[in-house]
A and B are shown apart, each in its own frame.
Chain A
């Protein structure tokens, strides 16, 4: 969660005397490009297949075309995905809550597989705004709270995305949480990564994640959050894919709501 981020603040305080940050040259090994599968089932199925690059290369990831991509549900129905643009495969099949799905990707006679269960949807109850509290690192605007009712005795995993209408969150914050300590409660999630101003139209998206999708995001965010202290053992995010493929086959439901900020 946020702990690590806060530790980072502390460290900067503890050493505010002379700490300094700069860019340095580090020699990193060159590695064989690895297959990356970014597959997601929500209202439809979209699978993006690409290759990894060396770490300091520019962020251009070669797409992988001509793969045979299929999704099978647990009733045995099989859908073959169509390559709609290079490396992007899609099918307008809706994910049904509680159903299991298996992704199979065949490239050069190698098969990569991943399975996931579509989670049950939790919807946003309401959205509220409040003036930015003065202990935050920014001030003068409003922050957004998302209210929801967690279902009791079910393990739920959430992801919250908040941004201005028609814009994506500029910092691309990964905010995921589970209900381990709030099971069955009314939950208020505060989006404290950035604030909004009067007349902004703000879109709040609450995703309910499959457990494996949450595990991927949780371990991914621990890489990002380790901050200045340094995570002792950073590791690749936990994937549900076989055969050494990177990425995941994720599933989530979406509940969206909008608020216009008026004082």
Chain B
């Protein structure tokens, strides 16, 4: 205890020092302009639009709500507001007063500009003290061909260097070697625990309802935390506050419809967007009875409303509801879904201080039932979070911005329960529920030391507390319970805390070149236990506990950035090294399902990941796109597995290449193609076999000692956009997934030959070869 309070004192001291250092930059002869930058078409706030003063070579960008604040010495300047795909607006200085200034930008008039696939203006990548971050908006990626024609932002980010896909077709992704659960996916501030629909072939994010996304590859500033590898921050559309619009799409597997409308013109708006798949309707035509009686669908609904109370107060209410259903006659049932709700209040204290308060509810539940000896047994599990956040942004002057805030989460876990009737074959069961609090304070300072050196640094102080009611077991080496402790309601079971420093330095060599360096520590208090290669809803989320320590990662990254041809090309080289502590894996032969002793089935160890990422992007012209290449290694070491030797993690991929190209043929036709290649995943294959009791039993020697065959695939797409008629816009999207029909192995299984069972062979399952699709989109 003594030690830790010392650390706290030191922390407070550090903060004081830090605050005094920035108060010295206050000066009186300044003016501050602040306000919102919005789209003139829809009235929505534009995230990350640039506000730039050419005479001073200084500027700022709007935050996640479109708000900005810029403090300048008194004088005459021209302030330029710009955002990709919109016309610039320049405001001469004599009109600037020490006041609020809301700006509306007109969408760029030429159609050509719309397909520019960049969201960051000009040379932001060179100037910002931020690395390992990517911003995308669905609008910019809608030309990229995707499987079954369903535009999917999670599939698009898998094409970026440092981000690799999970197994074929799924929306799970790995960032710089981190596990799927080490990505925090937040939708309007609400964590989304399972991002997959239809066993992962679709993601839960309906791109019609999404405005913007940001992915931090482990170097997020201190206002984000809770996961080791990445933060994927997704913002929902606000809805058109100018006029009522309808848009939608009809696809082979699913259809979408979105309505947007002002509540009070220019003051408030709402959007409601829904999606439903109908894959199972084709099952009716199947000859197989089991397939005929199968339900297989998902739906989701995004809704959001916002209202501007006055210039200084704006509120947002947003929600998401998604559900997946699988029923196979009386054999099997599987249901899962997320529900999230967020209430946010933007408050502008003055033209320098902005506050967003959020109250967030997030719920993920999954259940499955199966026929066991003519009895349906239903097992249900879930997680529920209530989350409170206060995020301040203090725009001290054009060289100093301070972010600070607090976050508290209450987690509730239901690992599994069975509700049985008296005469059922099964007994009822209620597994140990878990309750926990997670909290954090943070402060992050964005400091332009000079024209050449910029730094973003900060601290996140996070804590976790598992509380009763709970029954906690400790185990011996044989995984037997040796001690049982019972905790009453509210009693503290276990506390953890972590100090997470973060810093990114940017040295701007000249207008076209910069070098960046960053360090970040991240702590993670919730963990996903998964024993299959696919993302099944039976994967189990568990909180940290007496037996399970929080995971911690340290990441170092170094990058070189260069733009040329008047920012037409943007290139980067980044290297990273990551050390991971308290990593979790299942021991061999672990029993997971409905096991109150699941913690005894875990083994703990460390991980390391390092790699090189190359990226070249062409931002303008008829041909746009990018090439990304990642060379990496990801390894783990656990005392109980292979005697603690380092072994490759299953997501370890030596080479990973993505090539994305889009070509504007004429005003009506856009063509696109992407090609991906990666080294096969690390897998465990048998090396020998023996016979026992009539069974042929494989012999495994090394964990993940083999490789799946290399994966590669070409997708082609074309979009036809007929001339706009009055207010009606439409487009046709055609695509072919896996155009040259590569048989990529989804899985490889080993089994006896059908005719000669003692002769064993390897079977490859290939899922998707040459899948054509067509989607019709409309808007009016």
Q: Which residues of A contact B (CB under 8 A)?
A: 1-3, 6-7, 9-11, 13-26, 28-31, 33-34, 36, 38, 40, 50-61, 133-135, 137, 145, 168, 172, 174, 180-183, 185, 187-190, 192, 215, 218-220, 222-223, 226-238, 246-248
Are B373 and A190 in contact, with the CB atoms below 8 A?
yes
Contact of B26 with A by CB under 8 A: no
A55 to B689 Cα, complex, angstroms: 5
Pick from B368, B372, B688, B694: contact of A54, CB below 8 A.
Answer: B688
Within 8 A of A (CB), among B673-697: 683-697
A220 to B286 Cα, complex, angstroms: 34
Residues of chain B within 8 A of A220, CB atoms compared:
695, 697
Given contacts A233-B703, A238-B589, contact A13 B294 (CB under 8 A): yes
Which 10 A/B pairs are nearest by Cβ-Cβ distance?
A: A59-B758, A235-B588, A219-B589, A230-B747, A190-B373, A52-B690, A135-B329, A36-B690, A24-B764, A52-B688
A189 to B371 Cα, complex, angstroms: 11
Contact of B54 with A by CB under 8 A: no
Distance of B504 from chain A, by nearest CB (Å): 35
Contact of B771 with A by CB under 8 A: yes
Residues of chain A within 8 A of B763, CB atoms compared:
21-24
Pick from B695, B697, B757, B761: contact of A23, CB below 8 A.
Answer: B761
A32 to B695 Cα, complex, angstroms: 21
Distance of A137 from chain B, by nearest CB (Å): 7
Given contacts A1-B372, A135-B293, contact A233 B531 (CB under 8 A): yes
Distance of A68 from chain B, by nearest CB (Å): 21
Contact of B3 with A by CB under 8 A: no
Residues of chain B within 8 A of A182, CB atoms compared:
425-427
The contact string, 1 if C-beta is below 8 Å from chain A, for chain B 287-300, is 00111011010000
A207 to B743 Cα, complex, angstroms: 44
Chain A residue at minimal CB-CB distance from B530: A232
Chain A residue at minimal CB-CB distance from B753: A23
Residues of chain B within 8 A of A11, CB atoms compared:
199, 534
A230 to B743 Cα, complex, angstroms: 17
Given contacts A137-B290, A220-B697, A233-B586, contact A38 B760 (CB under 8 A): no
Are A246 and B534 in contact, with the CB atoms below 8 A?
no
Contact of B492 with A by CB under 8 A: no
Contact of B310 with A by CB under 8 A: no
Are B768 and A18 in contact, with the CB atoms below 8 A?
yes
Are B694 and A172 in contact, with the CB atoms below 8 A?
yes
Given contacts A222-B589, A231-B531, contact A135 B290 (CB under 8 A): yes
Given contacts A19-B767, A61-B691, contact A2 B293 (CB under 8 A): no
Residues of chain A within 8 A of B691, CB atoms compared:
36, 38, 50, 59, 61
Are A59 and B427 in contact, with the CB atoms below 8 A?
no
A59 to B695 Cα, complex, angstroms: 11
Residues of chain A within 8 A of B769, CB atoms compared:
18, 20
Chain B residue at minimal CB-CB distance from A20: B766
Are B296 and A145 in contact, with the CB atoms below 8 A?
no
Residues of chain A within 8 A of B766, CB atoms compared:
19-22
Distance of A50 from chain B, by nearest CB (Å): 7
Given contacts A172-B695, A220-B697, A226-B749, contact A6 B686 (CB under 8 A): no
Among A24, A58, A60, A220, the most chain B Cβ lie within 10 Å of the Cβ of A24
A39 to B531 Cα, complex, angstroms: 30
Pick from A34, A36, A55, A172: contact of B686, CB below 8 A.
Answer: A55
Contact of B591 with A by CB under 8 A: yes
The contact string, 1 if C-beta is below 8 Å from chain A, for chain B 515-550, is 000000000000000111110101000000000000
Among A227, A233, A237, A247, the most chain B Cβ lie within 10 Å of the Cβ of A233
Residues of chain B within 8 A of A222, CB atoms compared:
589
A169 to B699 Cα, complex, angstroms: 24
Chain A residue at minimal CB-CB distance from B693: A38
Q: List 16 A-B contacts (CB under 8 A).
A: A11-B199, A13-B296, A16-B291, A20-B765, A22-B764, A22-B766, A24-B764, A25-B762, A55-B750, A145-B373, A172-B694, A181-B429, A190-B374, A230-B747, A233-B585, A233-B684
Pick from A9, A185, A218: contact of B425, CB below 8 A.
Answer: A185
Are A17 and B296 in contact, with the CB atoms below 8 A?
no
Are A21 and B764 in contact, with the CB atoms below 8 A?
yes
Residues of chain A within 8 A of B692, CB atoms compared:
36, 38, 247-248
